[in-house]
Structure 1
Amino acid sequence: MTIVINMRDGVDERGIRIAARLILDGKLVAFPTETVYGLGADALNARAVKRIFEAKGRPADNPLIIHIADFDDLGKLAREIPEEAKLLAEKFWPGPLTMVLPKEEGVPDVTTGGLDTVAVRMPAHPIALALIRASTPIAAPSANISGKPSPTLAEHVIDDFYGRIEAIIDGGETRVGVESTVIDLTSERPTLLRPGGLPLEEIEKVIGEVEIHPAVKGKLVDVAKAPGMKYRHYSPNAQVIVVEGKRENVRRKIAELVREYRSRGLRVGVMATERHEADEFFHLGGTEEEVARNLFKALRELDRRGVDVIIAEGIEEKGLGFAVMNRLRKAAGYRIVWA
């Protein structure tokens, strides 16, 4: 049985105590962060962490991110903390930034996907911080079945995991909507492994130029040092097609594709920043922040409405747009139409 703990009105101390006890007992608890909902277990309990992989159907070589609530906890997880990590933590933690660092021996191999590095972040959400402080550092990937769109509402987690995990904390809708940005600080130069809720431009203001890993642009890799690099991700049941190009050309191309797919007898959904005629439509919003916040919700909602094809409008790859386009292209399996 899964208990759902309502914290839509804010942190509930009794609910936190219940959830923390479950974490310390080796159980699984889904909880909100500022980015997406996480599926959490005691990061230092190998048996508990293994249950995350089993529940999600996640490949064992896909490392997890450990969530902490205090900077001092970083020294228990990483054997070296370079100056860049201290600068980034001071500027952006708590926040949607994950740093990959050399692993401390006490961190189980299952948590890091067998790697000698560890991915760590400090979430900017009062419920997440309260839960960690009441328990232990928590390993938590997104709380969805592996390969599916990440959850930004407790209802999404309930759809995927009710009856399969011990508890779900309902903290309402997440604020950012895409996962954290991941920076590798174990390479010769700081390297972006995954764009996310903290724009790359902001990071480069603090530590200078950051290299972009080829996996960010879709190149296949043998070893994933961070989530989202190697396997199929963010995909709904419907086929997703991303339309990219100049705004007016994109608008015309979307209308053309809607007519084409409907002529084949398929139900078509469109997710875009302005209205389109289709069987189903989801308005993503007008700013990059709104688009990021609504991205995964749109994919899940159009799936729920039973469309066969989802046509998604591409946006400019700046700021949060970089993360949005990374997720959209992966959701589409790189089925991109240029307009």
Structure 2
Amino acid sequence: MDTKRYHEDEITEAAQLLQAGELVAFPTETVYGLGANALLPEAVMQVFQVKGRPQDNPLIVHVADFQQVKEFVENFHPLTEKIVKNFWPGPLTLIFSIKKDSLAPVVTGRLSTAAFRMPDHELTLELIREAGVPLVGPSANTSGKPSPTTADHVLHDMSGKIAGVLDGGATQIGVESTVLDLSDPSQPPVILRPGAITQETLMAVLETTVEVDGHLVSESETPRAPGMKYKHYAPDTQVLMVHPQDWEQALQWVTESGMRAGVIAGPEIAELMRYQAAAVFMLPQDTVTQAAKGLFAGLRALDEPQLALDVILVETFPETGLGVAYMNRLGKSAGKRWFEAKAD
């Protein structure tokens, strides 16, 4: 099939395709999602087939307002109203226990819970309103590979496989939403996947405990939320994380080994590595905000076959604030592998 690039004035046409069971990717403030009508199991099945995604991996249901969530949930966590008021629309996914048989098992991963999000992107909110149905929206990429942050990334993976992509430009955050488990109203909220909405931010607003589940799901386990697999977001080229103090040794290693190395880093490290690295994806600034926004784009750019890289070296940041989400995605991209500097 031909995959059409839709623009703002063509949202109605894209919405009609979704109503009919076709797949249309859409932009959010985090990454692009692969949209399908959440109420049509056969459409949702196509999402798994197109992505090559295991069917035990639950999907996030995207809504245009909180009223849509009430169609599937009746027993809300007592903090729900406060959370929705402060963080929706935004990069926060909420998991609730749902009414029996209100969503097909293919949406929930056969769990008794489901994940919901109201994205902070007006084009996609309008798309959902026009379609008149909630949309599942896992990242619009081949399963396990870096998530797409532009419409071009979507087309790279999905051209000829889906009906279209709504082009909303480059995403603003670049890493997927925080996933917060509210499925047990008697327990504190639990972060299952870190994102731009941090534990510290949630606790400050909610004035209560918010726990973090750091468990990484093995291939044989069923995840409670997307993005919990041990290795994920990974290009074909091996990724290595580099501690800030190890870049000089990394430069020496690349020089002496003759490895074709790619580098994803801010201006300071990019300048250090630019003569020995085979390819450099330079971030505009040495900040975790820019690193998070550019990580997936950098991994995609340096994984192109014509570069024939042996390894991609990536700048790391402290695991505080947004750094928690950034290091979570980078760690999974690298399969937890670091460049190992030799002791003097």
TM-score by length of 1: 0.92
Is there any run of 5+ residues in structure 1 with no aligned partner, and where? Answer: none
Equivalent residue number for residue 88 of structure 1: 83
1:3-152 aligned at under 5 Å gives the runs 3-7=3-7, 11-12=8-9, 15-104=10-99, 105-135=101-131, 136-152=133-149
Residue pair 2:302, 2:312 contacting (<8 A) in 1 also: yes
Local SS of the residue matching 1:77: coil
Equivalent residue number for residue 338 of structure 2: 336
The answer to whether structure 1 residue 198 and structure 2 residue 191 are counterparts is no
Equivalent residue number for residue 309 of structure 1: 311
The answer to whether structure 1 residue 162 and structure 2 residue 159 are counterparts is yes
Is there any run of 5+ residues in structure 2 with no aligned partner, and where? Answer: none
1:334 CA displacement: 0.5
Equivalent residue number for residue 259 of structure 1: 252
Partners of 2:230 and 2:124 in 1: how far apart? 27
Percent identity for Structure 1 against Structure 2: 45
Amino acid at match of 1:257: A
Equivalent residue number for residue 291 of structure 1: 291
Residue pair 1:75, 1:81 contacting (<8 A) in 2 also: no
Amino acid at match of 1:243: V
Local SS of the residue matching 1:282: strand
Amino acid at match of 1:254: W
1:231 CA displacement: 5.3
Local SS of the residue matching 2:11: helix
Structure 1 runs of 4+ aligned residues shifted over 3 Å read 218-221, 261-265
Provide the aligned length of Structure 1 versus Structure 2. 326
Residue pair 2:174, 2:293 contacting (<8 A) in 1 also: yes
Partners of 2:4 and 2:321 in 1: how far apart? 35
1:6 CA displacement: 4.2
1:214 CA displacement: 2.6
Partners of 1:79 and 1:50 in 2: how far apart? 26
TM-score by length of 2: 0.90
Partners of 2:109 and 2:146 in 1: how far apart? 21
Partners of 2:67 and 2:290 in 1: how far apart? 34
